[in-house]
Amino acid sequence: MGSASSPKAPSRALGCVFLPFFLLGSFFVVMVLRGAIASAATYTWQSVSCRITESQVLESSENSPWFGYLRYQSPTGESVRSSRLFGTYREALLFTRRWPAGSSATCWLDPRDPAGALLDRGGSRLTLLLFLPIPLFFVFIGAVGFYSCVFRWRPKLRAARPANPVAIHRFGAASMIAIGLALFLAFLFGPVRHVIAARSWRAHECLILRSEVRRYAAAKGGNGYAPKIFYSYAVNDREHRSDVWSFFEYTANGWGAARRLTSGYRPRSTVTCYVNPVDPDDATLNRNPSLGWLWGFLPLGMVVGGAALWPR
């Protein structure tokens, strides 16, 4: 009896290794499906006319420094508030401009709660379904691995070799190349594209309204620091505001490094900024590349590594 049950012991222990894959994958699958179902349900709600009573950009104490604040009157007489966090002042401004104060807008009433009127239906959550195969892949790995180890495991005298190791190596190398290229293209068509375009932007005189160091919660329970420089400028006799210092997100290793950067932009001082002639709300204080941009080329290391691992 003892010898018959002993081969199963290591198989069950090995099968437990696959449980986290299955549990975490299942958790994210449930979260994505719940969000998608809740978003799809809003498209069955009744559309009514609402009155926007307040629309402004406010500061946030969270990791995102700004949020768009909206207040609107529903047909039931309820005053409904809505807000969304944003990383830059311009993003929050564009959000609130969709619903200016004093305007009328279409909102949707929740049939279960008439006071739960929405201005913006959650259609963006439906795009999360595009990423559903990723957690499903982890669920598949966890389920197949656990079942194979616990219920179908058979002891062998020698280690089993992959049926086609070349195909596995090619799959791993192709995955590294694809991920590296995707990350590099995101960097290339993000800040790099903005910097190239900003070389032709017009120089304007800007007034520094506020210059300080922002602390936010970083990974591993620590704190990160970033400059928060808020400035105003005039285009066609109209005031605009921005908080973009550089198109490349700047984070400092310590408070001192961020403080040295903000010390060059004292409040009430006048500096030069660069404004997009097509979109006056798009501006930056610094349009030059920096050494920090080298981090954007790190994904190319994955491409090179994947090419080196490709079986010959």
45-99 per-position pLDDT tens digit: 888 888 999 999 988 766 678 888 988 887 777 677 777 888 889 889 998 998 9
109-148 per-position pLDDT tens digit: 888 876 677 887 766 666 777 777 778 877 887 787 777 7
What CATH number does the domain located at 200-286 have? Answer: 2.40.50
Region of residue 294 (phi > 0: left; psi between -120 and 50: alpha; otherwise: beta): alpha
pLDDT at residue 299 tops 70: yes
Pairwise CA distance, residues 103 & 110, whole Å: 22
Alpha-carbon dihedral sign for residues 231, 234, 235, 240: positive
64-86 b/e with 16+ CB inside 10 Å = b? ebbbbbbbbbbeeeeebebeeeb
Pairwise CA distance, residues 143 & 139, whole Å: 6
CB 213 within 8 A of CB 228: yes
CB 225 within 8 A of CB 215: yes
Instruction: Give the pLDDT mean for 211-225.
Output: 74
170-190 per-position pLDDT tens digit: 777 777 788 778 777 776 666
Pick 191 or 110 by higher pLDDT. Answer: 110
DSSP reduced 3-state for 276: coil
pLDDT at 2: 45
Q: Which range (136-140, 259-263, 284-288) has the least confidence? A: 136-140
Share of the chain above pLDDT 90, in %: 17
Instruction: Give the pLDDT mean for 215-233.
Output: 78
pLDDT at 207: 95
Pick 221 or 205 by higher pLDDT. Answer: 205
Share of the chain above pLDDT 70, in %: 75
Instruction: Give the pLDDT mean for 234-263.
Output: 81
CB 69 within 8 A of CB 58: yes
Split at pLDDT 50, 70, 90, the class of 276 is: very high
Pick 31 or 18 by higher pLDDT. Answer: 31
Q: Where are the domains of the chain?
A: 1-44+125-160, 46-120, 200-286
